[in-house]
Amino acid sequence: MTSTDRARMRALPFARVALIALFACTAAMPAHAEAPLSANDWVSGKAPAPAPSSGWRPADGVPPDAARRRPPPARPAGRAPATDADGTPVPTAPVAADARPAPVTVTRLDQADADAAGLRSARSAGLPAGLWDGAAATDVAQALAAGDPRLPATQALFDRILTAQLTVPARGEMAQGQLLIARVDRLIRMGNLPFARALLQSAGGDDADRFARSFDLDMLTGEDLRACSAFGRRPGLARDMAVRIYCLALNGDWGAAALTLEGAEPLGVVDPATAALLARFLDDSYAEVADTLPEPQAVTPLAFHLHEAVGQPLATGSLPLIYAWSDLGQNGGWKARLEAAERLGRAGVLPPAQLAAIYTEQRPAASGGVWDRAAALQALLGAMNGGDMASLDRVLPPALARFGEAGLAPRLAGMVAANLPDAPGPGDAAEAVVTLRLLAGLPVEPPEGTPSLLAWIADFAAGGASAGPATNDPQGRAAALAAAVDGEAAARDDAAAAPTAPQPGSGLAALAAMADVDAGLDGDLNRAARGLTQLVALGYGDTARQAAVELMILPQLTRAGQ
């Protein structure tokens, strides 16, 4: 080891001592007074203090904000009122007197008045909203039930009255909704099932009376699944026990249906004839029984449907018109469909397009009666579609004769008149064209050679013919009817003598006048003239004029067929 190395070894302990002394002096120095430099307020300590957060726990009592929102605590009877820390009494809420639940308050939501329901507004129906002003609801219901229009013009007005949205008359003792039921019942008796169903649907809501009518309509049109689905949602709608049993079975609960029938028969809540039908419907073992059930004395839609379901359908020819709708289905033959369609068409409740579709389904397999009318219409439509005027001259007159003798001339007019020329040329079909367009209420210009009486009727239908009587009218029928429509106003040339629109409060008077007008079909010309005059006075001039045209033409067509 050199002298230099020995000098370095002696210097090491001294360096260690100096380093330790330096660290000790640094630790003993006082801290600086200035805060650290920072651009963040949270670091520099200048930010506002945060809002206190809730650390509430169930054992901490009620928070102040919750105490302000909750009701005062209840105080049991017999105890001193609670007080705050400063002695102020704390108000208390009442408590229940016993353990029974509080009564439930039911508030019925406002519903539209079912009696005011309709398929079209009063304005679109050409009627005043106050048609029944001054009348009692019971009188309106009785008048509607007695109404039985037969002319196409009066039928159309009656349909508008039954289906329009009108102001409800004073009910008196009549319950709400019963005027709607009266309108629906009248439509059903007329055989107008589509309008009856649509009117029920427009009223909305369900009650026992509306369900009963909807159920009958569904039975007649083969839509029993829809009827019983409503029963499944609300069984209390069905008041008739037979309806309940049938719908239980149709909804799949055959056991409940059989048990209900077994209990209902001894109690007499189901008549024996319907009970026998239900028993056969529920038990397929009756399929082996050869005996036939007797026809019921009074047929209901359910009984009619059950007879078909058990394989013993009833003939509809002798039944009310509503049962003819069941024959329009594809289950029966074409002849049955034709006969049912003519029944409904004659009553004016089958749309012309549907009637024409049934007439043209097939080629007639025989002759006579309904077959001849089907063949005549098919030949007529073929000539019209082909634009063959020579064929039209050949087929139109016999077609009008065949439909006229069957009381179906207005329905033939509804099917073809709109496609006939309004200014026909001379020819064998000209008279038939004029007649059909007049029956359809369409304008027409008779050509040269048209019979004088028919030409005069066409002039009257257009609003003229007020200057003199009809020509070639030996009995004076047309002249008397025209005078009843034009009245003294035409003689005085006073167009303001009669109102131009139906008047409020004219409903009952209009129904009575329509019945008088229809009497003209029975030969009571004087009564028909009075009815026409009354219709004009009430503001139903268009209906009166068209009804007069029909009274001039239809009896002639019927007598020609006889």
The answer on 353 and 292 residing in a single domain is no
**Nearest partner of 553 among 464, 484, 456, judged by Cα:** 456
The answer on 279 and 382 residing in a single domain is no
Report CA 556 to chain centroid distance, whole Å: 39
Q: What is the DSSP string of 219-240?
A: HHHT-HHHHHHHHHH-GGG---
The answer on 552 and 513 residing in a single domain is yes
Lowest mean pLDDT segment, chosen from 94-103, 255-264, 404-413: 94-103
The answer on 298 and 338 residing in a single domain is no
The answer on 363 and 216 residing in a single domain is no
Mean pLDDT of 543-556: 93
Domain count, the chain: 2
- The proportion of the chain whose per-residue pLDDT surpasses 90, expressed as a percent, equals 45
Residue 193 token pair: 């099932």
Q: What is the DSSP letter of 362?
A: S
User: Residue 103 above 70 pLDDT?
Assistant: no
CB 197 within 8 A of CB 214: yes
Residue 173's Cβ-count burial label (10 Å; 0-12, 13-18, 19+) is exposed
What is this structure's pTM? 0.76
pLDDT at 102: 59
Torsion of Cα atoms, 157 then 158 then 162 then 163, to 10°: -40
Q: Is residue 359 part of a domain?
A: yes
User: What letter represents residue 536's amino acid?
Assistant: V
Residue 537, strand partner residues = none
How far is the C-alpha of 127 from the C-alpha of 167, rounded, in Å?
A: 11
324-380 pLDDT per residue, tens: 998 887 777 889 999 999 999 999 999 999 999 999 998 988 888 899 999 999 999
**Nearest partner of 432 among 440, 475, 548, judged by Cα:** 440
pLDDT at 312: 87
Q: Is residue 363 part of a domain?
A: yes
Length of the chain: 562
Residue 179's Cβ-count burial label (10 Å; 0-12, 13-18, 19+) is buried
Question: Which of 254, 281, 309 corresponds to the end of one domain?
Answer: 309
The answer on 517 and 374 residing in a single domain is yes
Scanning the structure block, which residue is given the tokens 């003798």?
A: 405
141-157 pLDDT per residue, tens: 999 999 999 999 999 99
More confident: 115 or 9:
115
Q: Is residue 350 part of a domain?
A: yes
More confident: 387 or 443:
443
Scanning the structure block, which residue is given the tokens 């304005």?
A: 123
The answer on 208 and 135 residing in a single domain is yes
Q: Is residue 56 part of a domain?
A: no
pLDDT at 69: 63
Q: Is residue 266 part of a domain?
A: yes
The answer on 331 and 425 residing in a single domain is yes
The answer on 341 and 297 residing in a single domain is no
Which domain, by its residues, includes 345?
326-561
Question: Which of 247, 279, 309 corresponds to the end of one domain?
Answer: 309
The answer on 169 and 142 residing in a single domain is yes
How far is the C-alpha of 552 from the C-alpha of 477, rounded, in Å?
A: 7
The answer on 283 and 415 residing in a single domain is no
The answer on 528 and 424 residing in a single domain is yes
Helix (H) or strand (E) holding 13: helix 3-27
330 CB-near residues (< 8 Å, 6+ apart): none
Q: Is residue 239 part of a domain?
A: yes
Q: Is residue 528 part of a domain?
A: yes
Report CA 236 to chain centroid distance, whole Å: 22
Q: Is residue 396 part of a domain?
A: yes
